[in-house]
Structure 1
Amino acid sequence: MKNNSGNAFDTKLFKRLLKYTTPYQKTFYFVVFAAIMLSVLAVLRPYLLRLTIDKGIIESDSESLIFYVSSMLVVLIFEVLFQFSFIFYANWLGQEVIRDIRVKLFKHMMNFKKQYFDNSSVGRLVTRAVSDIETIASIFSQGLFMIISDLLKMIVVLGFMFWQSWQLTLLVVTVLPFILYATRVFQKKMKIAFEEVRTQVSNLNSFVQEHLTGMKIVQIFNREQEEYRRFKDINRKHRQGWIKTVWYNAIFFPIAEMSTSITIGLIVWFGGLRVVESDALSLGIIVMFIELSQMLFRPLRQIADKFNSLQMGMVAANRVFNILDTDSKIENNGTLVSKKLSGHISFKDVRFSYIPEEEIIKGISFDVKPGETIAIVGATGAGKSTIINLLSRFYEIDSGQIEVDGKDLKTYELATLRTHIAVVLQDVFLFADTILNNITLNKEDVTEKQVIDAAKEIGVHDFISSLPNTYHYNVKERGVMLSSGQRQLIAFLRAYVTKPSILVLDEATSSVDSYSEQLIQDATEKLTKGRTSIVIAHRLATVKNADKIIVMDLGKIVETGTHSELLQREEGYYRNLYEAQFKHEEELN
């Protein structure tokens, strides 16, 4: 989306935003109607005040005085009722709109490629989904309808003033162009200033989110002072962004107040002379024009203030729509839906690169038969984990073909494909929820009894039962209440209850205790039994028991075979790896 930060108002963006009010048209039109009624009622009070002075007070007519004062009271009651309806339903409409946008945004982000999240700051995305969308609500609650109401009020007031006295109205109008020009300049400057503010808010959120998550690393490496200095620098830029908006407000509003005071002075001077010299004007008209001029200039000042809210909302809307317009999702054009897969996997000359022309996977081919377990070994950066991502279609391959059960991966409906593939990653992520919900991921078709039975089958029931509240134990954010080994066991159970046709394991046991490691080993044997399994192996037992071992180096398959076959190759890559990494482990066992 084109960024029109120098323009005071982006019409296309505004029209797009208004489309979200379509389901609530009745409310929208009622709010507009309330705004019209408020503008009409606004001029009635000064007019009734004029009649009160001229007919009631100056002519000493008590009946007229009581009648006009009572009329003002009735008008005031109606004004209060319409003001309440206007404010309530304008805010209600804003909340409905941002609810719809937030749901749409979150759904859109859930379908993004993994690569998008690799390249995007989580803090910025959180800002877009939370604070930016809240700011959009101000377009309706404090911006759009308030401006419409104020503009209508100004038009009605100006027309009424001309009808009552064109001479006094011309005095007021002479000051109007000056304040309109000041308002226009103010709007443009505030648009640019709010762009800067939102950028700095995003930077601040991103920094805080990232460093709170990684606080352990900050403290381990004694980086508190350096990160504190960086935070102060970001916070200073955030402050400077807001100071600009304060500066523009500090200039504009005194100018607006001064213009109002000059206008009142002109009305009193000119109108007073006419009253004294010719009785062409009444005292009531002068008092009415003083109040009407206030009504004319006050909305103008409020429009500038409300335009701030509108500008911030438009800036936020632009940022949110930029994400909604981002086309970064895996194409889900597959139509094949299968209740069960045999698990036959084929990679045929597959090539892949995260960055164009920098291949990570360089034309690999291998075949996994149904029910077979293969282990993938190799140095860090060899491309092992990338194979997992490609099989689950988190990324699209550059060329070649991946087949499951003899059919191209892309022919499967995406949700169906991922339903049949369970992945246990090396870095286990748990939500701030109960163990049960972390296992079922709130699937209604998975009962607590099924989870308990599955836990008993793979040998983790005793561990969970030892925790307070057992399966309803809240593991807190990212599972901090559990050890790394315990989190790994929860991840195994999560995969097991889905009864996948294909299992992918990225094992990580280097940092777990011996008890957890034995449980993980037993769980691995249970999970891989009878189903196609791809294991990125970090333990000798898994490597030795695999039906086939694929050895990778720099994105290529350099060797394939069983454990015993590969050990027989003199100067073989696997044999060297075994002697460097696995042999000592085998001797210990």
Structure 2
Amino acid sequence: ISPQMTLIAICVLPVSIILIGLVMKRSQKYFARQQQALGDVNGHIEEMYGGHNVVKAFNGEEASVKQFNEFNDSLYESAWKSQFFSGLMQPITMFIGNVGYVAVCLLGGVLAGGGNITIGDIQAFIQYVRQFNQPITQLAQTMNMLQSTAAAAERVFEFLGEEELELETPKVGSQDVAKINGSVTFADVKFGYLKNQTIINDFNLHVHAGQTVAIVGPTGAGKTTIIKLLMRFYELNSGSIYIDGIDIRDFGRKDLRSLFGIVLQDTWLFNGTIKENLMYGKLNASDQEVKEACKVAYADHFIQTLEDGYDTIINEESSNISQGQKQLLTIARAFLKDPKILILDEATSSVDTRTEVLIQRGMEKLMEGRTSFVIAHRLSTIRDADTIIVMKDGDIVELGNHDSLLEKDGFYASLYRSQFEGISE
């Protein structure tokens, strides 16, 4: 219709893009802060709700509310700024578009006065320019959502960009895993959660199949870390761990962990029935097997006293059964799996003395004929272990059975006396 008016109409587009880009550059940082602040608010609420008993017990309500207000103020500050700047985009594009209409009308009037175009051409051109500018205005309307999405995506991609686990290259088949006896060897193992902070130094140990090995030492000595390395929750910095002479890196992680039954100090049960929780390590277990495992773990009696027995639903926080009962269920779960290697990390920490004695009897049955690692702070629970490993600062400082270690009168003896004679060294 008119090359001159077309040029004016097209000039509107780069001007709009430049102005929108300037606003976005200013507002995007506020959208990023808004997402961070929103995460802080949600995390604080969830944490305070989940631990409200602790908050009340320590009179932390005032501090909790103060912390919430700080997070909420930060969210408010970043949210209104991000919304304000992104809200400018639509008025800016509409203003630039209307300036374009005015310029087209003025130029069209001049051209019509000179007889170059007709009034109808001007009317048609204005309609086309309006249609041309409409998608730009619509895009400006959605920039608010797009910028918020981009800020949220940054946090998602940051998570997705975390370093992956080492790729598995299993050299041992499932049929070979079934033949494992359970001997374990640690050879020159070094490990640190941070590369520049080694907590396990040149750890060497051989455990024969069927032996019961107790690991003792002060807090932070590396006892639980050794177990995590054995189950390949973390990769070694250097050295190797072997099961029946096979490097654990030659197992698939699923096959490797199928060898273990584990009872942790921190009990974990999910929302579901007691029976479903018990069968977690052995999904094809029969009802009879489940019940037998509970009898040996001395959990059957308390389960039978519940209204729905084995079909009792454990709620999401596991708050409808006691801590000691949860411990019994995790022990029964390990019994049911019937693993080649058993790991007990302070497994009786949450039960009373009488129940502990009963569980110890059941554990003796469970540990018969299988390799067992027992982490204990109460040294009375590991007197009968075949071998006691005494750890300090990531190293084995003493090795032997209970009687021989007491005769050495070393670090183990001092730990033992501190518990039973009140002597602290």
Q: TM range, normalised to the smaller chain?
A: 0.7 to 0.9
CA deviation digits over 1:394-435, x for unaligned, max 9? 122333332211222222222111110111111112222222
Give the structure 1 partner of residue 265 of structure 2: 426
1:246 partnered with 2:111:
no
Structure 1 match to 2:225: 386
Secondary structure, counterpart of 1:332 in structure 2: coil
Whole-angstrom CA distance in 1 between matches of 2:216 and 2:153: 48
Residue 373 of structure 1 is matched in structure 2 by: 212
AA aligned opposite 2:295: K
Contact kept, 8 Å, 1:376 with 1:535, in 2: the verdict is yes
**Do 2:87 and 2:144's aligned partners in 1 also have CA atoms closer than 8 Å?**
no
The equivalent residue for 2:58 is 221
Structure 1 unaligned residues grouped into runs of 5+: 1-162, 585-589
Letter in 1 for 2:373: I
1:504 aligns to what? Answer: 343
Is the contact made by 2:189 and 2:240 (CA closer than 8 Å) also made in structure 1? yes
SS state of the match for residue 206, structure 2? strand
Find the counterpart in structure 1 of residue 149 from structure 2.
313
Alignment pair present for 1:327 and 2:166: no
Counterpart among 573, 576, 580 of residue 411 in structure 2: 573
Distance 1:441 1:293 in 2: 66
SS of 2:171 mapped into structure 1: coil
1:198 aligns with 2:198: no
The one-letter code matched in structure 1 to 2:26 is: K
TM-score (norm. length: structure 2): 0.86
The answer to whether 1:231 aligns with 2:63 is: no
> Is the contact between residue 509 and residue 538 of structure 1 (CA under 8 Å) also seen in structure 2?
no
- Residue 555 of structure 1 is matched in structure 2 by 394
- Cα distance in 2, alignment partners of residues 348 and 273 from structure 1: 91
CA change 1:560–1:439 in 2 (3 A) is same
Greater displacement, 550-559 / 376-385: 550-559
Q: 297, 304, 311: which is aligned to 1:465?
A: 304
Give 1:545 shift.
2.1
CA–CA distance in 2 between the matches of 1:497 and 1:531? Answer: 14
CA distance in 1, matches of 2:6, 2:238: 75
| Deviation sequence 1:134-163 (CA, Å, 0-9, x none) | xxxxxxxxxxxxxxxxxxxxxxxxxxxxx4
The one-letter amino acid of 2:88's match is I
Distance in 2 between the 1:170 and 1:360 partners? Answer: 70
RMSD: 3.1
Letter in 2 for 1:388: I
Q: Which digits, 9 at most, give the CA deviation of each residue in 1:288-314, with x for residues without a partner?
A: 555443333232121123344334434
**1:187 is aligned to 2:58:** no
Tell whether the 8 Å contact from 1:458 to 1:526 is kept in structure 2 after alignment. no
Structure 1 residues 259 and 505, CA gap change in structure 2 (3 angstroms):
same
Deviation at 1:482, TM superposition (A): 1.9
Alignment of 1:263-282 (within 5 A): 263-265=100-102, 281=118
Deviation at 1:500, TM superposition (A): 0.8
Superposed displacement of residue 318, structure 1: 4.0
Q: Give the equivalent residue in structure 2 for 1:207.
A: 44
Question: Are residues 1:535 and 2:371 paired?
Answer: no
Tell me what 1:340 maps to. 179
Tell me: CA distance 1:287–1:518, structure 2 relative to 1, closer, same or farther (3 Å). farther
Give how far 1:277 is off. Answer: 10
Give the conservation status (yes or no) of the 8 Å contact 1:432–1:474: yes
User: How far 1:505 sits from its partner (Å)?
Assistant: 0.2
Report the Cα distance in structure 1 between the residues aligned to 2:377 and 2:233, rounded to whole angstroms. Answer: 23
Gap change, CA 1:267 and 1:367, over 3 Å in 2: closer
What SS does the aligned partner of 1:375 have?
strand
Q: For the residues of structure 2 that align with 1:181 and 1:397, how far apart are their CA atoms?
A: 53
What is the DSSP-based 3-state SS (H/G/I as helix, E as strand, rest coil) of the residue aligned with 1:381?
coil
Q: Superposed, which structure 2 residues align to 1:116-195 within 5 Å? A: 163=1, 169=6, 172-173=9-10, 175-195=12-32
CA contact (8 A) 1:186 1:304 kept: no
Shift of 1:273: 8.8
Instruction: Give 1:352 shift.
Output: 2.2
What pairs up with 1:407-426 in 2 under 5 angstroms? 407-426=246-265
| Aligned partners of 1:459 and 1:522 also within 8 Å | no
Matching residue of 2:239:
400
1:485, CA displacement in angstroms?
0.9
* Match of residue 293 from structure 2: 454
* Percent identical residues: 36
Contact 2:215–2:373 at 8 Å: present in 1 too?
A: yes
* TM-score (norm: length of structure 1): 0.64
Tell me which residue corresponds to 1:520: 359
Task: Report the Cα distance in structure 1 between the residues aligned to 2:227 and 2:111, rounded to whole angstroms.
Answer: 89
User: Which residue of structure 1 aligns with residue 200 of structure 2?
Assistant: 361
**Aligned counterparts of 1:230 and 1:207: Cα–Cα separation in 2:** 8
Contact kept? 2:104, 2:126, Cα under 8 Å: yes
2:133 maps to 1:297: yes
Where structure 2 has 5 or more consecutive residues not aligned to the other structure, the ranges are: none
Cα drift, residue 454 of structure 1: 2.3
**Bigger shift: residues 523-532 or 382-391:** 523-532
Check 1:500–1:582 CA distance in 2 against 1; reply closer, same or farther (3 A cut): farther
For 1:293 and 1:315, locate their aligned partners in 2 and report how far apart those are by CA, in whole Å.
33
From 307, 324, 327, the counterpart of 1:488? 327
**Structure 1 residues 471, 275: CA separation in 2 closer, same or farther (over 3 Å shift)?**
farther
Displacement of 1:533 in angstroms is 0.5
**1:204 alignment partner AA:** V
Report the 3-state secondary structure (helix = DSSP H, G, I; strand = E; otherwise coil) of the residue aligned with 1:477.
Answer: coil
- Cα distance, 1:483 vs. partner? 1.3
Structure 2 CA distance for aligned equivalents of residues 229 and 287 of structure 1: 62
Are the equivalent residues in 1 in contact too, given 2:86–2:144 (CA < 8 A)? no
State whether residues 297 and 328 of structure 2, in contact with CA within 8 Å, keep that contact through their aligned partners in structure 1. Answer: no
Relative distance call for 1:438 and 1:277 in structure 2 (3 A) is same
Which letter does structure 2 place at the counterpart of 1:294? R
What secondary structure is seen at the aligned counterpart in 2 of 1:364? Answer: strand
CA contact (8 A) 1:190 1:308 kept: no
Tell me the CA shift for residue 221 of structure 1: 2.5
Name the count of aligned residue pairs.
419
When residues 173 and 371 of structure 1 are mapped into structure 2, their CA distance, relative to the original with a 3 A threshold, is closer
Counterparts of 1:478 and 1:329, CA distance in 2: 30
Output the CA distance in 1 between the equivalents of 2:116 and 2:361.
Answer: 105
| 1:102 alignment counterpart | none
Measure the CA separation in 1 of the matches of 2:281 and 2:239.
37
1: CA distance, partners of 2:42 / 2:258? 34
- CA shift in 2, pair 1:291/1:408, >3 Å: same
